[in-house]
Structure 1
Amino acid sequence: MTGGRLQRELKKKKPFASPEQEALLNLMRTSDQLQNRFGRLFRQFGLTASQYNVLRILRGEGKPMPCLEIAERMIQVVPAITGLIDRLEKQSMVSRRRSTEDRRVVFVEITKKARAVLKKMDGPVGDLHKQLMGHLTRAELKELSRLLEKARE
């Protein structure tokens, strides 16, 4: 069988219909593999990728944030941010309070417990970043980011 690596990995007999299709499928396969690896790590700490993302956003902001602003900053679009926050609140990872100025606005704050969990996760997450992408040079990583940003335009 000739063709590129993805064609061999998928045991695809015919070539891809277009270079765009091959690139997109390569991107999807890579994304799936990376998400699986991170998913396993997050599960060890009782979190999903989306929950981890919410906690990182809150820790980075350093102050309570409105739910909708958290949703806008998420890496992956989450249709039910309220449900996600509900689950984090049940785990005592966040607390909520209504705005005194506008009762429709709900502020979410990270808890000490969540900060402690994130602190424990920082090393393993950084290690996984290096494990998964460390074989690429700095220039390759910069170019990869540039190309991915261009693809999202």
Structure 2
Amino acid sequence: MGNISKELNSTFPNLKIKAMLNIMFTANWIHSYHYSFYKPFKISSQQYNILRILKGAGEALKVQTIKERMVEKSPNTTRLMDKLCAKDFIERIACPSDRRVVHIKITSQGLKLLEDISKANRKDLLKNLTDDEAIQLSDLLDKIR
């Protein structure tokens, strides 16, 4: 089991600073794992998030709606969608009444990619937590925000 004091070979001025650094350290650890996990699929975790949003919606969505629903907000959402579009995982649909509005729809290839990803052997990063601990962790993170 991890111990941030040992992993960073450091002491901390107080428990709140230790907790904050632990959150940041753990977030980076999770990000690194996701980067490695999605790399063979040639997408990023943010692109995966876009595909999951579109699949869950079951219909084409405005770009702005997708941006609002993303777990990791990105100023580069349009660029992320450009890459997904180039790989035929999503398609853009112009709004006939307002050419400034574009809707995004997941393609059958995008759905197949999500299916392939769901079959991949994904490591359970929270396996050491009980259900009660997972609830407590989620509640504490909500409380911080």
| TM-score normalised per structure 1 | 0.88
Task: Point out 4+ residue stretches in structure 1 off by more than 3 angstroms.
Answer: none
CA deviation map 1:61-89 (0-9, x unaligned)? 01000001100111111102111111111
Counterpart of 2:138 in structure 1 is 145
Q: Could you tell me which of 20, 25, 34 is aligned with 1:38?
A: 34
The more displaced of 72-81 and 116-125 is 116-125
Structure 2 CA distance for aligned equivalents of residues 19 and 80 of structure 1: 35
CA displacement at 1:115 relative to structure 2: 0.2
| Structure richer in helix, relative to its length | 1
Q: What does 1:3-152 correspond to in 2, within 5 Å? A: 5-12=3-10, 15-124=11-120, 127-128=122-123, 131-152=124-145
Instruction: Output the aligned Cα RMSD.
Output: 1.5
CA displacement at 1:108 relative to structure 2: 0.4
Aligned residues: 144
CA displacement at 1:17 relative to structure 2: 2.4
| TM-score normalised per structure 2 | 0.93
Structure 2, unaligned runs of 5 or more: none
CA displacement at 1:124 relative to structure 2: 2.8
CA displacement at 1:51 relative to structure 2: 0.5
Structure 1 CA distance for aligned equivalents of residues 8 and 15 of structure 2: 16
Structure 1, unaligned runs of 5 or more: none
CA displacement at 1:5 relative to structure 2: 2.6
